[in-house]
A and B are shown apart, each in its own frame.
Chain A
Amino acid sequence: MLRLDWNFLFTVINLLLLFVLMRIFLFKPVQKIIAARQQEADRQFEEAAAKKAEADGLKLQYEQSIASAEEEKTKTLQETRRKADAEYHRIVTDAQDKAKQIKDDAAVEAQNQKLQILKKAEKEIADMVVSAAVKVVGEKKGSDVDSSLYNEFLDKAGDRQ
C-alpha cells in the first residue's frame, strides 16, 4: 500500500508509453481525418461561392441580352411597320394615279371620237348640201335658183336644229 519503489518508475514509463500509443493510434489519425474533412468542407464552400458568382454573372449577362433582344424586337417591329406604311401609301398612290390616268385616257378618247363623229357629220351635211344644190341648179335658172337654194338651206338647217 504505502510504498514507493521501482514501480514508480515503471508507472511513469507505462504512462508515457500509453500516451505515445494513444497519440499514434487514436488522437493523430482521428484529428488528421477531422482536419482533412474540414479542408474538404472549406474547399467545397469555396467552390460553391465561386460557382454562385459565376452563375450571378451569367444571369446578369442573360438579362442584359434579353433586354437588348426586346429592344431589338421593338425596333424591328417599328421599322417594319414604318416600311409597311410607306409601301401601303405607295401602292394606294400608284393605284390612284393609274385610275386617274385611265379616266383621263378615256376622256381624251371620248373627245376624239366625238370630234370624229362631228367631222363625219359635217362632211355628210356638206355632201347633202352639194347634192341638194346640184339638184336645184339643175331644175331652175337665174335668181330663182338663188332664192330656192337659200330657202332649201334654211329648211334643212332648221330641220337639224
Chain B
Amino acid sequence: MGNLTETLMKELECETVFTIPIFGGIDVAESVVVTWIIMAVLVLAAFILTRNLRVDHISKRQAVAETIVTKLTGMVEDMTGSEGKRYAPYLATVLVYIGIANIIGLFGFKSPTKDLNVTAALAIMSIVLVEAAGIYQRGVKKWLHKFTEPIAIVTPINILEVFTRPLSLCMRLFGNVLGSFVIMELLKMVVPVIVPAVFCLYFDIFDGLLQAYVFVFLTSLYIKEAVE
C-alpha cells in the first residue's frame, strides 16, 4: 500500500523538465513542454489542412478543414449566442486544446491539465475574456452597473462571482482529470487486465472530452450572459 501511494504521488507530481538559468532559475514544468507538443501538432495539422484552399472543386483535405472549422465554431456559436460570435475561434481553440490535453495520457504523455498551473491559466483567461467581452459590449459604465442587477443588495455576491467562477472552472477541470487519473491508477493496480480497458473508455476518453466541453460551455455561457 505504501508502494501504491508512492507510485501515485510520483505519477501525479508534475516534473520539472529543465530550468531556465535566470532569476535564480525558472523551472519549466512537464505540462508546459507537453503543451508545446500539442501546439506543434495542432499548428502543423492546421497548416497541412489549409494548403491550397479553393472556392470550388475542393480537395478532401479542404473538406476536412472546413468541416472541422464550421462544426467547432458552429458548436461554440450556438452556446455564446449571436453577440458572442467573435469569441468562437478562441473558445474552439481552447476546446480542442483541453480535449487533446485530457486524452494525451493515452499516448504516454502526462496530461497538462493535471497541472494546476494550466487549469488556473485557462480559467483566468476565461474570466478575463468574459469581463472584457462585457466591457467591450456595454461600455465600462453599464458593465459596472451590471453588478448591481437585479437588485443592489446582490452586488457583493456578483463581485464575488468574478472570483468564484474562474476558481470553479479551474478546480472542476483539475479535479476531474486528477480524480479520473487516480481512479484509473488504482483500478490498474487492483485488476490489471480487461477491466481497466473498459473504464479507460469512460475516464480517459469520455470524461476528458466531456470536461473540455463543460469548460468551454460554461465560459460561453458566461460570455453570453455578459454580452446580452
A contact set with B: CB distance below 8 Å: 1-12, 14-19, 21-23, 25-27, 29-34, 36-37, 40
- Please indicate the chain A residues that have their CB under 8 angstroms from the CB of B14 in the complex: 1, 3
A4 vs B120: C-alpha distance when bound (angstroms) = 9
A40 and B56 contacting across the interface, CB-CB below 8 Å: yes
Q: Pick the most buried of B42, B70, B93, B178: most chain A CB atoms within 10 A of its CB.
A: B93
B46 and A7 contacting across the interface, CB-CB below 8 Å: no
A7 and B94 in contact, given A26-B49, A27-B69, A34-B70 (Cβ under 8 angstroms) = no
The interface residues of chain B, by DSSP majority, are classed as: helix
A40 vs B66: C-alpha distance when bound (angstroms) = 17
- Please indicate the chain B residues that have their CB under 8 angstroms from the CB of A1 in the complex: 12-14, 114-116, 178
The interface residues of chain A, by DSSP majority, are classed as: helix
Q: Interface size (B, Cβ < 8 Å)?
A: 49
B55 and A11 contacting across the interface, CB-CB below 8 Å: no
A14 and B65 contacting across the interface, CB-CB below 8 Å: no
- Please indicate the chain A residues that have their CB under 8 angstroms from the CB of B120 in the complex: 4, 8
Instruction: Report the minimal beta-carbon distance from B201 to chain A, rounded to whole angstroms.
Output: 25
Closest to A22 in B: B93
Of B22-30, B157-165, B191-199, the segment with at least 4 beta carbons within 8 Å of chain A is: B22-30
Residue B217 is within 8 A (CB to CB) of chain A in the complex = no
A18 and B97 in contact, given A1-B12, A27-B89 (Cβ under 8 angstroms) = yes
A15 and B94 in contact, given A7-B31, A37-B55 (Cβ under 8 angstroms) = yes
A6 vs B116: C-alpha distance when bound (angstroms) = 12
B46 and A25 contacting across the interface, CB-CB below 8 Å: yes
A12, A21, A40: the one contacting B55 at CB < 8 Å is A40
Closest to A10 in B: B32
Known: A7-B27, A26-B46. 17 other contacts (CB 8 A): A1-B13, A1-B116, A3-B116, A4-B117, A7-B118, A11-B118, A14-B36, A15-B94, A18-B42, A18-B97, A21-B42, A22-B43, A22-B93, A30-B69, A32-B53, A34-B70, A40-B55
A5 and B55 in contact, given A12-B125, A15-B122, A25-B46 (Cβ under 8 angstroms) = no
Instruction: Report the minimal beta-carbon distance from A59 to chain B, rounded to whole angstroms.
Output: 31
A5 vs B94: C-alpha distance when bound (angstroms) = 21
A29 and B50 in contact, given A15-B122, A19-B90, A22-B42 (Cβ under 8 angstroms) = yes
A31 vs B88: C-alpha distance when bound (angstroms) = 12
- Please indicate the chain A residues that have their CB under 8 angstroms from the CB of B65 in the complex: 26, 30
- Please indicate the chain B residues that have their CB under 8 angstroms from the CB of A19 in the complex: 89-90, 93-94
Closest to B91 in A: A19
A30 vs B178: C-alpha distance when bound (angstroms) = 36
- Please indicate the chain A residues that have their CB under 8 angstroms from the CB of B92 in the complex: 22, 27
A7 and B32 contacting across the interface, CB-CB below 8 Å: yes
B 31-71 to A, binary, CB cutoff 8 A, 1 in contact else 0:
11001101100110011011001111000001001101110
B66 and A34 contacting across the interface, CB-CB below 8 Å: yes
Q: Pick the most buried of B14, B26, B31, B32: most chain A CB atoms within 10 A of its CB.
A: B32
- Please indicate the chain A residues that have their CB under 8 angstroms from the CB of B55 in the complex: 33, 36-37, 40
